[in-house]
Amino acid sequence: MEKMRDVKPNAVTVASVLPACANLGALGVGQRIEEYAKAEGYLKNIFVCNGILELYARCGSIDRAKRMFDEIGRKRNLCSWNTLIMGLAVHGKCSEALDYFNQMQVTSPCF
């Protein structure tokens, strides 16, 4: 166990634990993980960004979810779109969810 002291979470670790935080509604823990990810430069990783997006979308922090979605920018993938649309719909913002769905079709026709 002594060797474990030098082990630190990498982007894969961060991307793996964020959905657990989202499922548990552990927003505070997820936010600390986001701060760690920022400090380590892991926000260049789409899987980490999508995990943060999922955290906020599931926990009902829709404004933060939209902010992360905007920060992802051109790196967005289908998971990014689906996560935001799901978060909006689940939290009663169905019109906005449909707006994002339509925007997805226009800006990303390959989906």
pLDDT per residue, tens digit, the chain (111 aa), is 355 678 899 999 999 999 999 999 999 999 999 999 999 999 999 999 999 999 999 999 999 999 999 999 999 999 999 999 999 999 999 999 999 999 999 887 665
Nearest-angstrom CA–CA distance, 84 and 76: 11
> Residue 4's pLDDT is what?
64
Answer for the pair 16, 47: CB distance below 8 angstroms, yes or no. no
Q: How many domains does the chain have?
A: 1
What's residue 110's pLDDT? 64
3 state SS of 109: coil
Are 99 and 91 contacting, i.e. CB atoms less than 8 angstroms apart? no
Domain around 102 = 2-107
Q: How far is CA 95 from CA 25, 56, 82, 88, in A?
A: 24, 19, 15, 9
